[in-house]
């Protein structure tokens, strides 16, 4: 594996690479709160004909802490990927791999540039994350229940403080082990990967992003900056991938134990609302029983 920095015409990016310089380009785009190093376990086992390129995306890892314009969805990441490939003189149409948030980024890339193939690893929905019905129709016109205001402030504070402990559910280490893979799996690279997570830029321009008030439950609507807003259905919609005139091969995978990209995801406000409603219902029933 080779590790180096590339200065593009958009920002400086940290890149991890393996394989021959003239190999078939495979670009691996990481997800939220992670970096290109989350892919490095693949480098030694990949066929030698492939040139694997795994960058740290803006505001994550060791790439520049450039702000994320959420009103463009994940197009900032897509344009950064294009700038990186041009700076690295990669002229062949790349195979693109996108995990979670990275799935939306590679879809946006494919909507603007030729690609050899797309591999989605538990990608965010074509209609973004949260706040919409099955067909992408919003529950509320302001897309309340998505965006930067849905981030857990305690987790964000511990992330910003570089917390490496394992105390409490909001410890970044525990979030890594409970949400990035199934609960009974522990990665031998845990400390290294945790260190990569802790490099995430926090605040309005990074994670989780800014927020706007809403008259609708849960009282927050997406802002215009930062990653969780870029994932809001208000701005993130790559469903037009099905309308590409030249359709690339697509492999779409989903881990059955994934709790983040899943129906009933505990990271989604609708799930929290259902739990709150159930608790309120139980409390009302208990109150009625006590009066009787």
Burial, 270: exposed, middle or buried (Cβ in 10 Å; 0-12, 13-18, 19+)? middle
Res. 288 pLDDT band, cuts 50 70 90: very low
Q: What is the pLDDT of residue 290?
A: 29
Which domains does the chain carry?
Answer: 2-145+228-261 (3.40.50.1820)
Instruction: Report whether pLDDT(202) > 90.
Output: yes
Res. 276 pLDDT band, cuts 50 70 90: low
Distance (Å, whole) CA 223 – CA 267? 18
Q: What is the pLDDT of residue 262?
A: 82
What are 234-268's pLDDT values in tens digits?
999 999 999 999 999 999 999 989 888 887 887 78
Confirm if 90 and 67 have CB atoms less than 8 A apart: no
Q: What is the pLDDT of residue 271?
A: 81
The label of the residue with tokens 């040139």 reads: 51
Element (H, E) at 153: helix 153-160
Distance (Å, whole) CA 265 – CA 262? 5
Query: 101-112 and 75-87 are packed helices; what angle lies between their axes, rounded to 10 degrees?
Result: 70
Q: What is the mean pLDDT of the chain?
A: 92
Q: What is the sign of the dihedral through the CA atoms of 10, 15, 17 and 20?
A: positive
pTM above 0.85, yes or no: yes
What are 137-177's pLDDT values in tens digits?
999 999 999 999 999 999 999 999 999 999 999 999 999 99
Distance (Å, whole) CA 283 – CA 290? 10
């Amino acid at each position: 594996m080779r590790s180096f920095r590339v200065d593009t015409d958009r920002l400086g990016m940290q890149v991890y690479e393996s394989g021959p310089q003239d190999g078939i380009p495979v670009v691996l785009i990481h997800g939220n709160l992670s970096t290109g190093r989350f892919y490095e376990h693949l480098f030694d086992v990949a066929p030698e004909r492939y040139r694997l390129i795994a960058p740290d995306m803006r505001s994550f890892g060791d790439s520049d802490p450039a702000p994320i314009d959420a009103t463009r969805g994940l197009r900032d990441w897509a344009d950064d990927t294009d700038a990186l490939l041009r700076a690295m003189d990669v002229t062949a149409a790349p195979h693109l791999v996108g995990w979670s948030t990275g799935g939306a980024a590679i879809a946006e890339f494919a909507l603007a540039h030729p690609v050899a193939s797309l591999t989605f690893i538990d990608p965010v929905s074509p209609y973004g994350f949260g706040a919409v019905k099955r067909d992408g129709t919003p529950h509320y016109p302001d897309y309340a229940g998505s965006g930067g205001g849905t981030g857990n402030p305690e987790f964000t504070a511990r992330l910003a403080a570089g917390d490496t402990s394992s105390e409490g559910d909001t410890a970044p280490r525990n979030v890594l082990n409970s949400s990035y893979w199934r609960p009974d799996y522990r990665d031998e690279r845990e400390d290294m990967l945790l260190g990569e997570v802790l490099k995430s830029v926090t605040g309005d321009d990074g994670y989780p992003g800014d927020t706007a008030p809403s008259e609708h439950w849960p009282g927050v609507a997406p802002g215009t900056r930062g990653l969780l807003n870029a994932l809001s259905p208000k701005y993130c919609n790559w469903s037009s991938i099905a309308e590409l005139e030249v359709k690339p091969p697509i492999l779409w995978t989903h881990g059955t134990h994934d709790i983040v990209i899943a129906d009933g995801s505990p990271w989604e406000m609708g799930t929290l609302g259902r739990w709150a409603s159930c608790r309120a219902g139980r409390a009302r029933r208990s109150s009625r029983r006590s009066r009787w």
